[in-house]
A and B are shown apart, each in its own frame.
Chain A
Amino acid sequence: DTGVSQNPRHKITKRGQNVTFRCDPISEHNRLYWYRQTLGQGPEFLTYFQNEAQLEKSRLLSDRFSAERPKGSFSTLEIQRTEQGDSAMYLCASSSTGGDEKLFFGSGTQLSVL
């Protein structure tokens, strides 16, 4: 499977715990995005990498959220001290440069904070 891969598919955690999600983009794509989606809403932009550089970060993203893409390949999204309001689907997408901004999404990680 050469699509975007996300792990884990589901994560249940207790409030206050830290969680980390992983995304493996399509191998030839150098752009990687993280979005968050809650029921009945469209995906909300969180952050964006081009290769290993984090170029954009939503101002809605609190300091508890951090993302990395150390080698320009896979990325991790960490949420520290989770809150119930963090419960959502976390979607990763990748795209290539060269004027093509079409996003290819992974299946997402569904986070439930109890």
Chain B
Amino acid sequence: RKEVEQDPGPFNVPEGATVAFNCTYSNSASQSFFWYRQDCRKEPKLLMSVYSSGNEDGRFTAQLNRASQYISLLIRDSKLSDSATYLCVVNGAGNMLTFGGGTRLMVKP
């Protein structure tokens, strides 16, 4: 089993839609969780950290479920500019930051 797993997608949604991604992780001792965004042929950039109580940043909401070992990202009112790959990141074995394979989102007019 991979340390961090994501549905690769693609998720094809119309503008204005709400879309959610999940990410599961295997190391129950993990303490740090993040969502990164990666545009085509660009480097990953931090989208948001994920806190135990859940957190929101504008149209983006991140949640952590420690019991089931998954984190989620919800995007409301999708914009064309949200089209990208969303990478889940967890600190795993050896405290290394481990990336999931990414979920590709395509928002269409």
A-side residues, CB < 8 A to B, are 33, 35, 40-45, 48, 56, 91, 101-108
Q: Could you tell me if A33 and B101 are in contact, using CB atoms closer than 8 angstroms? A: no
Chain B residue at minimal CB-CB distance from A107: B43
Distance (whole angstroms) from the CB of B76 to the closest CB of chain A: 24
Please name all residues of chain B whose beta carbon is closer than 8 Å to the beta carbon of A45 when the two chains form the complex.
96-99
Q: Please pick, from A41, A56, A104, the residue contacting B94 in the complex, using a CB distance under 8 A.
A: A56
Bound-state Cα–Cα, A104 to B36, Å: 10
- The answer to whether B97 touches A101 (Cβ under 8 A) is yes
**A44 to B43, Cβ gap below 8 A?**
no
**Which residues in chain B, 54-109, are within 8 Å of chain A measured between CB atoms?**
87, 89, 91, 94-102
The verdict on B25 contacting chain A, using a C-beta distance below 8 Å, is: no
Q: Give bound CA distance, A103 to B102, whole Å.
A: 16
> Are B96 and A91 touching (Cβ within 8 A)?
no
Is B42 at the interface (CB under 8 A from chain A)? yes
A27 to B100, CA, bound (A): 28
Interface residues in B3-57 (C-beta closer than 8 Å to A): 4, 6, 8, 32, 34, 36, 42-46, 49
Select from chain B the residue with minimum beta-carbon distance to A92.
B43
CB of B34 within 8 A of CB of A43, answer: no
Chain B residues lying within 8 Å of A105, measured Cβ to Cβ, are 43-45
B6 nearest CB neighbor, chain A only: A42
Which residues of the partner chain B approach A33 to less than 8 Å between Cβ atoms?
97
Which residues of A have CB within 8 Å of B98? 45
- List, sorted by A's number, 11 A–B pairs whose CB atoms are closer than 8 Å: A33-B97, A40-B8, A45-B96, A48-B96, A56-B94, A102-B49, A103-B36, A103-B89, A104-B46, A105-B43, A107-B43
